[in-house]
Amino acid sequence: MELSLVGVGHSYDRTDVLSDITLDIPGGRILCIVGPSGCGKSTLLRLIGGLERPSRGQILQTGRVPEGCLNPLTYVFQDFALLPWRTVEGNVRLALEDHRLPKGETDRIVTDVLSRTRLSDFRTALPRQLSGGMKQRVAIARALAVNPAVMLMDEPLSALDAQTRELLMDDLVALWLRAPFTAVYVTHNLTEAVRLGHRIVVLSRRPGRIAEVVDIKTDLAERRADDPDLVRHQSHLWDVMRDEARAADQELING
């Protein structure tokens, strides 16, 4: 399934948060959205996910949802959003409970996503027994369980330390290489964006408009932190972001 945003804008009361966003979200690719704090990244994700209706413009869905898709637009949040009293397996099953699948099918899906996220040995663990990185792997397993058409990821690695972030980036790349999924991935972190994104969209300060779109051709499997192409992309993206972030700070100071 592909999504297209056409002239999308959004306002809360009288505050303009997003303006004139026209953007294609291609199937089977990871689209990263970066931009200064408060520029409307999470709002954009909520609009794409249908949690809010855009004040202006349209969000169009084309193409078919994948076979076995139980929830076309599925979120992964920064804070994992796990139920603390449920085991790893119980948290993943939660995503399937409303769908009345045959028991064997539910078991098959749970086993498959726990294996893909390397959590098979932790089925019976409770969230409090897990590291932050593992908790986020549970949240990712739960999202994958419904085979979404598009995963909407809001700073999924931001609550994790740098080393865990690295490992989770490797995990996400491995998951994508095994079964390419479509994702809109919001992050502050340009290292994540150039490591994971096929396309990177930089939003301007609020009201967020598209300041830059960069397509990265290097295969996800081939991306190395010191790759000159990626370093060049990252430094260019930072130039665009820095100008926007500085201007946003200045506006805050000046009221």
Ligand X SMILES: Nc1ncnc2c1ncn2[C@@H]1O[C@H](COP(=O)(O)OP(=O)(O)OP(=O)(O)O)[C@@H](O)[C@H]1O
| Interface positions with ligand X (CB under 6 A) | 12, 17, 35, 37-43, 206
Q: How far is the CB of 72 from ligand X (least distance, A)?
A: 22
Residues 59, 24: Cα–Cα separation, whole Å = 10
Q: Out of 42, 158, 164, 191, which residue is the one contacting Mg ion (CB under 5 A)?
A: 42
Task: Find the distance separating the first CA and the last CA of the chain, reported in whole Å.
Answer: 42
| Smaller CB separation from Mg ion, 150 or 153 | 153
| Smaller CB separation from ligand X, 51 or 177 | 51
| Smaller CB separation from Mg ion, 4 or 42 | 42
Residues 112, 96: Cα–Cα separation, whole Å = 13
| Smaller CB separation from ligand X, 17 or 237 | 17
Q: How far is the CB of 36 from Mg ion (least distance, A)?
A: 11
Q: How far is the CB of 143 from ligand X (least distance, A)?
A: 19
Residue 115 interacts with which of Mg ion, ligand X, none, CB < 5 to 8 Å by class: none
| Smaller CB separation from Mg ion, 54 or 90 | 54
Q: Which helix (H) or strand (E) holds 230?
A: helix 228-254
Tokens standing for residue 84: 């603390």
Q: How far is the CB of 229 from Mg ion (least distance, A)?
A: 28
Distances 117 to 27, 78, 99, 112 between C-alpha atoms, Å: 22, 17, 22, 9
- Give the position of tokens 């192409």: 229
Count of residues near Mg ion by CB under 5 A: 2
Q: How far is the CB of 36 from ligand X (least distance, A)?
A: 7
Q: Is residue 61 close enough to count as binding Mg ion by CB under 5 A?
A: no
Per the CB < 8 A criterion, the answer to whether 11 and 17 are in contact is yes
Residues 200, 193: Cα–Cα separation, whole Å = 7
Per the CB < 8 A criterion, the answer to whether 219 and 171 are in contact is no
Interacting residues with Mg ion (CB under 5 A): 41-42
